[in-house]
Structure 1
């Protein structure tokens, strides 16, 4: 594949990124995919849509636990093991312009947050959806806010640019719940068991937080080779 052939192609690219709002590697992956799109020869022909995935769908709403303690229980090693995992991802994220405050971050159920991200996509397309993801990520990782609290979600969504009345209506009911479940079921049908997971034009896939160069190569491959 060549830069020239990618520039000459007329193939549009639809990127679908499965992600969770409390997954640091997902935030890193999102930023790297966006950087790859910006470096791509035809960035305006690329659409990035975020899709929902819950790492802990059974986590009770309102249950509060520090992220290090949670990781230590889930993967072993206790709180110290969780802290080491957090330190590693923090070191990696520095090159992507991201920082995390692990002393404040608390684990939270993300289902309602994903519903609001689906609302954002409907209200303002991928750009508003991206803004919602960024605001929720920042609230969780940098501000230690519980992003399963409806009052917190109401404020964060408004700050991201969503209509406050629509947000309140969604949080008061079950709108977009089916949309979130559809994303998760689609992921399961493809054998996805962890995120981030990126799908390009419905068939070219990559999992994990890859480099910007890897994502750029994927973009070019999709438009020049159909792979």
Structure 2
């Protein structure tokens, strides 16, 4: 079974949603048969590589909210993240365009370490105040996951994975995705947002049942009358 997850690195709910989904997947009996694919999405593709100002300044300008309202939102999200074991520090977040980070993610996915790099990028951005638009930061994150530093630097410089990132964003638009995280299970079921772990559990179970329907075997001919064969089971009305 395949699960595709559209998300942005610069999205606090995407990290929370990742944790909640991971908890559901860890307890899922068929977890070893679930393929998770990270897909790219940008909440604000207009951001420069490096933005002057804090995350609070940026959101006040972008959302038209007061500084007090944004600060209160930070406190609420930080508390929710803490419940999932995440240590958000909005005061140190560096506002930067996430496109290069998504390019790195596609390289990482091609080399089999997509999940490790996704985790590292989210943690770097929200917990450690690192600049996800800085190429040196991206090279370091990639090499720590086992990628080759020269390949990372070359691919980022030549935008080897630009088309792959754009294709993901185009696919999201065609599916009507307007916010992230967004989870698509077996190209059939969609789950929008960082839902509770219990909902992800239900979604996994339902998608699995429909992709692996129970096939009833017919009784082997034994010479026993059909009515008698039908009675070798117990039900609500007796045996």
Whole-angstrom distance in 1 between the partners of 2:151 and 2:102: 15
Counterpart mapping for 1:205-220 below 5 A = 205-220=190-205
Aligned to 2:223: none
Structure-2 residue corresponding to 1:130: 115
- Aligned-pair Cα RMSD in Å: 1.4
User: Which shifted more, 135-144 or 14-23?
Assistant: 135-144
1:114 and 2:122 correspond: no
Contact 1:140/1:146 (8 A) holds in 2? yes
8 A contact 1:69–1:82 mirrored in 2 = no
Distance of 2:179 and 2:131 partners within structure 1? 22
SS in 1 for 2:184: strand
Residue pair 2:86, 2:127 contacting (<8 A) in 1 also: no
TM-score normalised by L of structure 2: 0.85
1:3 is aligned to none
Q: Which residue of 2 aligns with 1:172?
A: 157
Q: Secondary structure at the match of 2:92?
A: coil
Instruction: Tell me if 1:63 matches 2:51.
Output: yes
* Partner Cα distance (1:54, 1:65) in 2: 19
Moved more, 93-102 or 181-190: 93-102
Deviation at 1:78, TM superposition (A): 2.8
Answer whether contact 1:118 1:176 (CA < 8 A) is retained: yes
Q: Distance in 2 between matches of 1:156 and 1:78?
A: 35
Residue 9 (structure 1) aligns with: none
Give CA-to-partner distance per residue, 1:28-56, whole Å, 9 cap, x none. 11111111111111110111111000011
Q: Which moved more, 1:45-54 or 1:156-165?
A: 156-165
- Tell me which residue corresponds to 1:82: 70
Whether the aligned pair in 2 keeps the contact of 1:29 and 1:209 (CA below 8 Å) is yes
Tell me, in whole angstroms, the C-alpha distance in 1 between the residues paired with 2:57 and 2:89: 14
Partner residue in 2 for 1:202: 187
Distance in 1 (alpha carbons) for counterparts of 2:11 and 2:24: 20
For residue 92 of structure 2, what is the aligned residue in structure 1?
A: 104
Who wins on radius of gyration, i.e. which is larger?
Answer: 2
Q: How many angstroms apart in 2 are the aligned matches of 1:154 and 1:64?
A: 23
Q: Which has the higher contact order (CA 8 A, sep 6+)?
A: 1
SS in 1 for 2:91: coil
Whichever structure has more helix as a proportion of its residues is 1
Deviations 1:63-105, CA, capped at 9 Å, x for gaps = 2321122222222223222211111111111121111111110
Residue of structure 1 aligned with 2:177, choices 184, 192, 199: 192
Q: Counterparts of 1:32-71 in structure 2 under 5 Å?
A: 32-71=20-59
Kindly indicate whether residue 136 of structure 2 is the aligned counterpart of residue 155 of structure 1.
Answer: no
